[in-house]
Structure 1
Amino acid sequence: MLHAAILIPFMLAVLIPLTKGVSRFHTGWIVLPVPIALFLYFLTRISDIQAGNDTISTISWMPSLGINITLHLDGLSLLFALLITGMGALVILYSIYYLNKQTEAIRHFYIYLLMFMGAMLGVVLSDNLMVLYGFWELTSITSFLLIAFWHRRERSRYGALKSMLITVFGGLAMLAGFNLLYVMSGTYSIREIIAQVGLLTESPLFIPAMLLILLGAFTKSAQFPFHIWLPDAMEAPTPVSAYLHSATMVKAGLYLVARLSPVFAGQSEWFWLVSLSGLVTLFYGSFKAIKQTDLKALLAYSTISQLGLIMCLLGLGSASAFFSDTQESLFYTTATAAAIFHLINHAVFKGSLFMVVGIVDHEVNTRDLRKLGGLMSLMPVTFSVALMGAFSMAGLPPFSGFLSKEMFFTAVLNIRELDVLNTQSWMILIPVIAWIASVFTFVYSMIFVFKTFTGNIQPEKLDKIPHEAPLGLLISPVLLVSLAVVFGLFPDLLSYSLIEPAMGSIYNELLSPMETFGVSIHFWHGWTPEIFMTLGVIAAGTLLYRRHSRLRILDRERNGSNFLNLMYDGSLQVLERGSNRFTNLYMTGSNRHYLLYIFGFFVTALGSTMIGTQGMSLGMSHYAPLGFYEAVIVVVMLLAAVAVPFAKSRVNAILFTGAVGYMVTLLFVIFRAPDLALTQMIVETVSVILFLLCFKYLPKLKKEKERLSFRLPNLIIAAGVGITMTFIGLAAMGSSPFAPISEFFLKESYSLAGGKNVVNVILVDFRGFDTLFEIMVLAIASLSIYALINLQVEPGITPANKNKKEGRMAFPLRSNDVILRTMSKVIIIVILTFSMYLFFAGHNNPGGGFIGALMTSAALILMAISFGMDKVRKVLPVNYRMITAVGLLIAILTAAGSFVFEAPFLSHAFGHFDLPIMGDTELATAVLFDLGVYLAVVGVTMSIIFTIGGDE
């Protein structure tokens, strides 16, 4: 079920385009049941997780590389899964009323949102680091698409690109850290790595791995100085901000730090980096939030501040690893409990506040605090939600934010007693900075609610008269802010159900098998230092709120940039200018230069490697003697190849090139390789026709006299490539320390894949990955040719219709030969029949999907030559690009179908079945994969032919 939970959002995203005809319903109503169902499923797992019954589910993917799709549901992942699905349901409900289905590309929006939801679930449920990384980067890509949803706005594109560049940069660093962990532990499994912590800490790669992983976490969770992407990401629609930037994407870095705390928490470097980075981010974000005049910008910096607070708590909680005494160690885990509690509270109050901003913007058409005010009487429900959300964010009772803020004060006060690297005297700065940041938090919370809703309304500055939002927009924020009240009045609802299991997932090694964490959260603990700190925050915050506009240091931003943003923009400009200058040095527009670079590097790199490799043998003594017929074929092949550059016309050059290919076909015949011979023959036939079509566009071949100095580099490179490839081929045969893999293929072809034709079995089973990627490359190539041929040089004019305007078809391919047209009627039937035989017989006899497809294409090409392309289109009115897509889809679905049976990707099955009429018949799933190859190759070949031949 865990794999299905991740897969379902992606499957629905694929199906959403099919809802285009359902115009009566908002697409959001179709999407909404998915997060609700997933949220309810994860709710049902709370009791099991409380009992310590984690769920682990594995699908084998690349076991030889240690990469399997292993999902692990424990207390920590359950908490995040509930946040992702629960907030997802409320955000989708909110978006139904926020986004206009008539004016917005809502299907695109929900496709991106569902993909993001599935990717986030993949991040928090993955036990394998490589799978986690794949989902991690997918969140960056989908968030880029969501932030740039209003892509016609320059600021939206800028914010999306900025967020992706910074988070992907961190993700690549994190990938390097994951690989260092693999080098040290020999596994990508998080559980297995945690079990080896005692051995890993001695490795010199341990600290570099930790630093690289933290870089990924800090960029994702907008920690200083990588926070600069988050304010610009606020150009996204409000539902995106409420989802990505309050509850999900920005929490991914926090999840990673919490998940890997058992690995790194024993290092003082981890404690200082995580704690101080969070503390600096907390202070900086709260200070900057006061200076904002845009409501979304204020919430953006408040989000940065709150993320810093949670990160700081996770760092302080890691201090528990410094003590061998269990009770003393558990004393510091209070900070981690506070981090988990505040993580939930932040999603609740910040999600509701983002939705409030969306309502204000939606109903008033501005987010500028200088234009707002006096909305309390006009929008009473929205004001109530904003008041409760802001008070919870400020840490005021009776809201849940007050409780987690008190726990934060407890954690920073406790840390004063810790002496790490003889720094106990400096520990007093941590609670001081935390208190000052909390004062700033109080101030920006009050600015948000009172500057927006109290005072006098300014109708002259507004585009329309404010009024209360419709019920649909209010449901989600009201439900969220209600949770802030419920969790505040009944905090132990979360303590027992979510916080304790999450703590157990992080600090399980501190407990004996029968012990559990006891987390108890209460409103009143007496007149403690934390209460006095809170009272001080309220007093100082109230004074500062009334005076902040008069203080220059806290006055609003005087420009839209700061040093870090300027440095980011300047870095991009320097990189763009430098890359342009460097690129212009070698991108001369000359194909000859490009080939010189490519082949020159090829010869230099491979040639020097061969020369420097000891023990290289060409193995000439092991080869069979050269026979008479082989020698004749090779001589003819060489003569034809040498004749190509000396040909006086392009037609002759094409014929000489074809002769080389047909000689290779004869070699395959002599070497008894019928599959290769058939393939080579048909490929050469189709290639000759393609060459003729392409050269039809070009002028006649002209022989220009060139100086020897221009031909000499060509000669050197050509000879170098030929010689290098010859020696590589000989060395590969003569120097391999292993037995030829062909012996394995010949021995296991039938027993493992159910086929006697080893060549076809290799294509569809043993090397199915190669075949799948090859047909993908072919599909991309055909689409590229289609795009290039149909590229509009002038508005409304393509090469095809330009020629039609001149009174002729782009290619007069049809033959007027009566004999050819008469014979082809029979020959085409024979070829098509033979192609069907090759396809169905290919698994056990010479043939297969690839050869059958080429043979079918040859028949269609013959029909086009004999009767014209229009005739082919009338007889077979199909879109060959669509056939290519269908073939790829069949191949991919067949390959992925093995997941249903918990088998690795591209696993095939076969067996014998007693069928009516046919009797005992062998059936293999590889035939379905071969069908995909067949359709893809036919589609690619004919798409290219018709495109170059003036199809459209």
Structure 2
Amino acid sequence: MSILHWVVLSPFLYTLLIPIAYKLMKKVHTGWFILPLPILLFIYFCSNIGATSNLQAKTESIAWIPSLGIDFSVKLDGLGMLFSLLISGIGALVILYSIYYLDKNKEKINQFYVYLLLFMGAMLGVVLSDNLIALYMFWEITSISSFLLIGFWNNRSNSRYGAIKSMAITVFGGLSLLAGIILLYIMTGSFTISEIITIVQQESIISHPLFILAMICILLGAFTKSAQFPFHIWLPDAMEAPTPVSSYLHSATMVKAGIYLVARLSPVFAVSGYWIWIVSLVGIITLLYGSFFAVKQVDLKGLLAYSTISQLGMIMSLLGIGAAGAHYNNDSVYYVATAAAVFHLVNHATFKGSLFMMVGIVDHETGTRDIRRLGGLMKIMPITFAIALIGSLSMAGIPPFNGFLSKEMFFASMLNIREFNMFQLDTWGVLLPIIAWIGSIFTFVYSMILVFKTFTGRYQPEKLSTKPHEAPMGMLISPIVLVSLVLVFGLFPGLLANTILSPAITSIYGGGVYDLHIYHWHGFKPELFMTIGVIVFGTILYLTVRKWAVIYQSIPVIWNSIYDKLFGETENLFSRMTNRYMTGSLRTYLFYIFTFFILILSYTLFAKDGFTIDTLRLAPIGGYEVVLSLVLVVSAISILFSKSRLTSIILLGAVGYTVSLFYVVFRAPDLALTQLVIETVSVALFLLCFYHLPRNARKKESIPFKLSNAVISVLVGLVIMLIAIASYSTKLFDSISQYYVENTYLKAAGENMVNVILVDFRGFDTLFEIAVLSIAAIGIYSMITLRMGGKKNENK
């Protein structure tokens, strides 16, 4: 494997060392053991910036399932570099922050860091995979690991609810994504992303009947992961996770996975107006919805959750406009919109990550996140206030911070849609810039609420559970670094323009190197007046928020209710279904199993015309076979009429020993010996088990029940007999037995053919069987240990 493969797998491998480190470093926080990994990953990616900035993508591949065209292919290009830097860089800051946020004596930090590294590795796998099946595998690992992280405090009902909700919605989207991937493979014949893009450029697939369905399935996966309306409802409930998790998952990583997917697959689907309209409209509606409802939140993390929804909608709408520019070969519009999208990806990660950490500090030092109980903390927590101020002003789009630059580019992109026939401003297209502007006004309002309602106004110590004070420097380092980047990228955007942003733009749609220039001053253009309007109207709305906020009381919030109703009804339905067949009766379970067994196999056998009889190759039946068959049949039938457990066990043993005699007659001594050993052990175990079972009185059973048992038994035997006859009579391939005869000694140096087959030719089968038995043994041992421990506690 290449270095790039090891980079992707390193977080997964590192998790294996965490339990050891946790045991050995009892006096040291486990986070210090974890921190070097993301730092080294960040350094590795930084060392490759020169190559990606020159459009030199690093691609490595190893065979995984070559027969299906599935390889573990990784590709580091401009877009992958952008996301990898965010994943590793902010991951390092989050881990540093968590060392001071999570108490190693009170929290299960070993589990926390296992989950966090699993998530980090999964995100790297998503953004670096060049094979859609590998991408999907990592995509689902992000859902599982985020479920574990969100529900980390599993003793809290809200944490469990948020974890289940996020997993239910994102896994639904993941399954939809898988369907879209399969449909895309049917259309192009490839799972490799770069090959698919090349195929689409050479021959159009827009006329394919599966094109629209594949597009919808993939967008469902992207929208659910990136919390787009109406799938946004999982994100606010995910705020029950520890703040380091919220800062990482919901500002720089998980919610950006859907953004990445749309950006990566835009060259495939941007030829369709449906893609452009859906992505643009869903994004702009999400922007307005998230920003509007963020204002009503009284929990600081709840406010940030809705602000994240809003910001993600903004990025998604920019990708839609950029796709329109690419569709119409309009470099100016495509370039500005796509540049704004990738630039705001970075900006949002910096200011939102710092704001989440700031909220965590406020919660950690005051004991609450309720805005109604906060206020007047500016003098008590001046550094935290400075972090909140810079981050909030950047989120509001105020100069000279980086959020202002990408917000200006956002307005410019929305105004440039007039160049497209599909987005004429004299028709419905005018709604896009209007909604963008209104959403930005509410963004300004909730940004002001976040900082000023928390740090200014009247100090209310009587409403706080602890006496607030400034956080320790270790907890402040990470948000300080992030707000410093907010200021640096705002004042010197050229640091990112042609090293990170331009290669990312090029890697989406291809083409040459774009010379990207980002300025604070572009003259008196419409976007400048839109920004002035945002500040003016936003200030008015903020100052009068108590007067107009009553409108929220008359607006029903139905989406959570729909989810709860749908989830609850589905759970009840399947609970009722389960209770119908999970009766606790083994006979009932076997009745269901054998009934489906009979129906499915017999239907397949005859519907597919698979039943044939060929008696030409049958060996003659001798006297021994007749006698043994009679013994076998009589023993089996006698079990049904036995009234004693001991008699039943003896008869069952007779059946097994008779089968072993068949092996002797057919000259298979190895099988005969194996059968004898297994049968002896089975009979002994049965006798031991039945000896300890209670002596229940035999209940009278109705004749219909016995008849149903008899019918099922006869039909199962009949179906198995017909399948055996048909399989023997139908020889589609030459027997493999001669191969084993010729190669047992030559290739495996063994004289016992059966042993060689088990150990060499089918070694993996045997290995996996041993593994299954070992896992079962461990499980049984654990259950017995827990049971014995429970009894000891009861005795105490």
Q: Could you say which TM-score interval applies, normalised by the shorter chain? A: over 0.9
Is 1:205 matched up with 2:210? yes
CA shift digits 1:456-505 (9 cap, x unpaired): 21111112221111000000000011001111111121111111111121
Structure 1 SS opposite 2:380: coil
Give the whole-Å Cα distance in 2 for the aligned partners of 1:743 and 1:612.
33
Query: Contact 2:316–2:341 (CA<8 Å) still a contact in 1?
Result: yes
Give the whole-Å Cα distance in 1 for the aligned partners of 2:792 and 2:724.
49
Give the aligned partner of residue 453 of structure 1: 455
Is 1:155 matched up with 2:155? no
Give the whole-Å Cα distance in 1 for the aligned partners of 2:62 and 2:743.
25
Query: Contact 1:417–1:424 (CA<8 Å) still a contact in 2?
Result: no
Cα distance, 1:526–1:766 mapped onto 2, change above 3 Å: farther
Is 1:575 matched up with 2:540? no
CA shift digits 1:325-382 (9 cap, x unpaired): 5xx2453232111100000110000000000000000111111111111111111111
Deviation at 1:658, TM superposition (A): 2.2
Is 1:118 matched up with 2:115? no
Give the aligned partner of residue 9 of structure 2: 7
Query: Contact 1:618–1:727 (CA<8 Å) still a contact in 2?
Result: no
Deviation at 1:535, TM superposition (A): 0.8
Give the aligned partner of residue 53 of structure 2: 50
Give the whole-Å Cα distance in 1 for the aligned partners of 2:792 and 2:686.
24
Is 1:244 matched up with 2:249? yes
The 5 Å alignment of 1:365-514 reads 365-420=367-422, 425-508=427-510, 511=511
Give the whole-Å Cα distance in 2 for the aligned partners of 1:40 and 1:204.
46
Give the whole-Å Cα distance in 1 for the aligned partners of 2:270 and 2:717.
57
The 5 Å alignment of 1:76-475 reads 76-197=79-200, 198-323=203-328, 325=329, 328-329=330-331, 331-420=333-422, 425-475=427-477
Amino acid at match of 1:531: L
Give the whole-Å Cα distance in 2 for the aligned partners of 1:538 and 1:752.
80
Give the whole-Å Cα distance in 2 for the aligned partners of 1:650 and 1:401.
79
Give the whole-Å Cα distance in 1 for the aligned partners of 2:121 and 2:745.
39
Which of 773-782 and 438-447 deviates more? 773-782
Give the aligned partner of residue 660 of structure 1: 655
**Which residue of 61, 73, 76 corresponds with 1:73?**
76
Give the aligned partner of residue 34 of structure 2: 31
Amino acid at match of 1:720: L
Give the whole-Å Cα distance in 1 for the aligned partners of 2:746 and 2:62.
24
Cα distance, 1:494–1:714 mapped onto 2, change above 3 Å: same
The 5 Å alignment of 1:678-757 reads 678-699=673-694, 706-742=701-737
Structure 2 SS opposite 1:589: coil
Cα distance, 1:293–1:756 mapped onto 2, change above 3 Å: farther
Cα distance, 1:516–1:795 mapped onto 2, change above 3 Å: closer
Cα distance, 1:423–1:457 mapped onto 2, change above 3 Å: closer
Structure 1 SS opposite 2:470: coil
Amino acid at match of 1:88: G
Give the whole-Å Cα distance in 2 for the aligned partners of 1:427 and 1:353.
34
Deviation at 1:275, TM superposition (A): 0.6
Which of 452-461 and 359-368 deviates more? 452-461
Cα distance, 1:445–1:610 mapped onto 2, change above 3 Å: same
Amino acid at match of 2:542: Y
Structure 2 SS opposite 1:545: helix
Aligned Cα RMSD in Å? Answer: 2.5
* Structure 2 gaps, min length 5: none
Query: Contact 1:548–1:554 (CA<8 Å) still a contact in 2?
Result: no
Amino acid at match of 2:157: E
The 5 Å alignment of 1:529-928 reads 529-553=526-550, 562-614=557-609, 616-699=611-694, 706-742=701-737, 759-760=754-755, 762-763=757-758, 767=762, 770-782=765-777, 785-786=780-781, 796=791
Give the whole-Å Cα distance in 2 for the aligned partners of 1:137 and 1:752.
42
Structure 1 SS opposite 2:307: helix
Deviation at 1:128, TM superposition (A): 1.5
User: Taking CA–CA contacts closer than 8 Å with sequence separation of 6 or more, which of the two structures ends up with the larger relative contact order?
Assistant: 2
Give the whole-Å Cα distance in 2 for the aligned partners of 1:294 and 1:134.
35
Deviation at 1:572, TM superposition (A): 1.8
Deviation at 1:182, TM superposition (A): 1.6
Which of 739-748 and 407-416 deviates more? 739-748
Cα distance, 1:774–1:680 mapped onto 2, change above 3 Å: same
Give the whole-Å Cα distance in 2 for the aligned partners of 1:406 and 1:751.
75
Structure 1 SS opposite 2:75: strand
Cα distance, 1:381–1:552 mapped onto 2, change above 3 Å: closer
Give the whole-Å Cα distance in 1 for the aligned partners of 2:525 and 2:424.
28
Number of equivalences: 791
Structure 1 SS opposite 2:16: helix
Structure 2 SS opposite 1:149: coil
CA shift digits 1:129-176 (9 cap, x unpaired): 111111111111111111111111111111111101110111111111
Cα distance, 1:516–1:564 mapped onto 2, change above 3 Å: same
Cα distance, 1:418–1:367 mapped onto 2, change above 3 Å: same
Query: Contact 2:417–2:423 (CA<8 Å) still a contact in 1?
Result: no
Give the whole-Å Cα distance in 1 for the aligned partners of 2:425 and 2:529.
26
Deviation at 1:420, TM superposition (A): 2.1
Query: Contact 1:193–1:263 (CA<8 Å) still a contact in 2?
Result: yes
Cα distance, 1:493–1:759 mapped onto 2, change above 3 Å: farther
Give the aligned partner of residue 811 of structure 1: none
Give the whole-Å Cα distance in 2 for the aligned partners of 1:757 and 1:489.
78
Structure 2 SS opposite 1:59: strand
Is 1:527 matched up with 2:524? yes
Structure 1 SS opposite 2:365: helix
Deviation at 1:680, TM superposition (A): 2.5
Query: Contact 1:418–1:424 (CA<8 Å) still a contact in 2?
Result: no
Give the whole-Å Cα distance in 1 for the aligned partners of 2:746 and 2:170.
48
Cα distance, 1:454–1:4 mapped onto 2, change above 3 Å: same
CA shift digits 1:211-259 (9 cap, x unpaired): 0111011000000000000000000000000000110000000011111
Give the aligned partner of residue 944 of structure 1: none
Structure 2 SS opposite 1:427: helix
Query: Contact 1:219–1:226 (CA<8 Å) still a contact in 2?
Result: yes
Structure 2 SS opposite 1:222: coil
* Structure 1 gaps, min length 5: 806-952
Query: Contact 1:313–1:335 (CA<8 Å) still a contact in 2?
Result: yes
Give the whole-Å Cα distance in 1 for the aligned partners of 2:710 and 2:185.
47
Give the aligned partner of residue 888 of structure 1: none
CA shift digits 1:52-86 (9 cap, x unpaired): 32222222222112222111111111111111111
Amino acid at match of 1:171: G
% identical aligned pairs: 58
Amino acid at match of 1:400: N
Query: Contact 2:286–2:309 (CA<8 Å) still a contact in 1?
Result: yes
Query: Contact 1:54–1:73 (CA<8 Å) still a contact in 2?
Result: yes
Cα distance, 1:668–1:467 mapped onto 2, change above 3 Å: same
Structure 1 SS opposite 2:734: coil
Give the aligned partner of residue 23 of structure 2: 20
Give the whole-Å Cα distance in 1 for the aligned partners of 2:178 and 2:747.
35
Deviation at 1:758, TM superposition (A): 5.3
Amino acid at match of 1:47: G
Amino acid at match of 2:82: L
Give the whole-Å Cα distance in 1 for the aligned partners of 2:757 and 2:83.
44
